[in-house]
Chains A and B, each alone.
Chain A
Amino acid sequence: MGNDSLKDIAIKELLLHLADDDFIHSYRGAEWLGLAPHIEEDVASSSIAQDTMGHAAIYYKLLEEIGVGNADQLAHDRPAKERRNAIILEVVNGPGYYMKDPEYDWAFAVVRNYFYTQAKAIKLQSLHTSSYEPLAEVAQKVQMELYYHLMHWKMWFVQLLGSGHEEAVSRMKAAIEKTLQDFAGVFSLGQYGEEMVELGLIEGEADLQKKWIEAVSPIFESVGLATTFEIRMAKGDGRNGKHTEDLEKALETLSEVYASDKAASW
């Protein structure tokens, strides 16, 4: 029983990491709707946000199947302290509110989206051989969709940094610094990380991070960026329930309709 229950906890925690990461990432992406730099990008980034919400939904569905709770409830009705997403993904797009004076930073969006999508691709690759069969199956499907997301954000990253445009380059560099400050949170496997690795659910944090660095290094080099950098977790580990006011506000907004009538069928 002891071993079994620890295994159950590790599976549940890993699914929550994946679900909550994609959920808040998709929400931040959706906030750009109507505000992206041009109309083609508006179509592209909102399409990516929609795919990503589909990925969150399938992970919440897997949680529902093992009896953790109803998928809608897990998505909408959990306070910030129960969320497992990495803190970097909850950080606001910029000052303001999407309905009023949004001063969102496209450079930060591009950097965060590229870094996260690349990290997600590496995790999915690892999940292919996960000992938890349902997750291995889902990983393959998500990976096929992610292919296009990664291509898209990589293109933006390279074009803005390679543009030679002073403002673009300096804003991208500032965004890279800001993102790396907390990007270790994306690789964190939380307090049950060791169990996850022992059980063969996913590779360890260090391996994931190493593969990520290997994947981004040639891209960094191609735009003249140094490939030695520090990846930190300055604001704390979201996997263990540590979060910021940014997440609380986001949850309040996104669950407003759900909270108005929890029994309603949409």
Chain B
Amino acid sequence: MSTVLLNTKEIYKLLEDVKDPEIDTVSILDLGMVENVTVSGQDVLVKMLPTFLGCPALSIIQKNVETAIKQHPAVKNVSVEFLRSPSWTSDRITEKGKAGLKLFGISPPPRQMKKDGSWHVDCPYCESTYVTMENIFGPTACRSILYCKSCKNPFEAMKPMIKMI
């Protein structure tokens, strides 16, 4: 009888299919939510970082991660742990993740804020820089609402989350 051996590479491959429950063009890997995957025998431990502490999608994401990994025939147990540290920051989003956000009509977070805390993104549809901030707070904790004066579309942007110290 042959044993199917597990390696972390295969697990990462499966995690590519776990998307943000509300943004199906971006995987949790591309959002930078997966800090670490460890395999020991037939058990898999996934250590993740919460984007926002009050995000109600976290438990859905946890369940989806478990379901995805259990598809592997050699996996017996999966545990998902949300870490307290390090803090998730928006610069963890990969280039692929940024492209996926744009495809969904969400501007990726800017790399930096100005001294007064303001920040700027371009329109994800027409690339115009002629946009206004309508509301820093949006439909979910991680998003803001903006408006493009060029193509006259409302759009959203991922809030920058940057370490304060």
The yes or no answer to B4 lying at the interface (CB within 8 A) is no
Select the stretch in A48-56, A170-178, A202-210, A220-228 that faces chain B.
A48-56
* Across-interface contacts of B89 in A (CB, < 8 A): 144
A121 to B46, CA, bound (A): 32
Decide: B53 and A44 in contact? CB cutoff 8 A. Answer: no
Complex Cα spacing A56 to B54, Å: 9
Chain A contact residues (Cβ within 8 angstroms of B): what range? 20 to 34
Give chain B residues whose Cβ lies under 8 Å from the Cβ of A137.
84-85
User: Is B130 interfacial (CB 8 A cutoff)?
Assistant: no
A55 and B165: CB pair below 8 A?
no
Binds B, one of A147-155, A184-192, A233-241, A255-263: A147-155
- Beta-carbon contact of A148 and B137 below 8 Å: yes
Residue B138 interfacial (CB < 8 Å): yes
Cβ of A126 under 8 Å from chain B: no
Interface size on B, residues (CB 8 A): 27
**Given A40-B134, A47-B141, A48-B137, A140-B53 contact (CB < 8 Å):** no
The answer, among B53, B117, B141, B162, for a CB contact under 8 Å with A58, is B53
Contact A51 B165 (CB under 8 A): no
Query: What is the chain B residue whose CB lies nearest that of A143?
Result: B164
Kindly identify which residue among A43, A51, A53 contacts B135, using a CB–CB cutoff of 8 Å.
Answer: A43
Q: How far is B165's CA from A107's CA once the two chains are assembled, in angstroms? A: 32
Q: Distance (Å) between the CB of A156 and the closest chain B CB? A: 12
Q: Does A81 contact B (CB under 8 A)?
A: no
The answer to whether B136 touches A140, judged by C-beta atoms less than 8 angstroms apart, is no
Query: From residue 44 to 101 of chain B, which have CB atoms closer than 8 A to chain A?
Result: 50, 52-56, 84-85, 87-89
Task: Select from chain A the residue with minimum beta-carbon distance to B116.
Answer: A151
Q: Report Cα–Cα, A39/B137, bound state, in Å.
A: 11
Which residue from B53, B56, B134, B163 sits with its C-beta under 8 Å from A142?
B53
* Contact present for B137 and A44 (CB under 8 Å): yes
By secondary structure, the A interface counts as: helix
Q: What's the A-B contact tally at a CB cutoff of 8 Å? A: 73
Q: How far is the CA of A31 from the CA of B84 in the complex (A)?
A: 29
CB distance from A259 to the nearest CB of B (A): 22
The distance in angstroms between the C-alpha atoms of A48 and B136, with both chains bound, is 11
Task: Pick the residue among A54, A128, A140, A143 that contacts B54 (CB under 8 A).
Answer: A54
C-alpha spacing A143/B85, complex, angstroms: 13
Query: Is A54 within 8 A of B52, CB to CB?
Result: yes
The 6 closest A-B pairs by CB, nearest first: A54-B54, A54-B53, A44-B137, A137-B85, A47-B137, A137-B84
Interface set of B (CB-CB < 8 Å, partner A): 50, 52-56, 84-85, 87-89, 117, 134-141, 145, 159, 161-165
Can you give 29 contacting A-B residue pairs, CB < 8 Å? A40-B134, A40-B145, A43-B138, A43-B145, A44-B135, A47-B140, A50-B54, A50-B141, A54-B54, A54-B55, A128-B165, A137-B85, A138-B84, A140-B85, A140-B163, A140-B165, A141-B50, A141-B53, A141-B84, A142-B53, A143-B164, A144-B89, A144-B161, A144-B164, A145-B53, A145-B141, A147-B117, A151-B117, A152-B136
Interface residue ranges, A against B (CB under 8 Å):
40, 43-44, 47-48, 50-55, 57-58, 128, 134, 137-138, 140-145, 147-148, 151-152
User: Known pairs A51-B141, A141-B53. 13 more at Cβ < 8 A?
Assistant: A43-B139, A44-B136, A52-B54, A53-B54, A54-B52, A57-B54, A58-B53, A134-B84, A141-B50, A144-B89, A145-B52, A147-B117, A152-B137
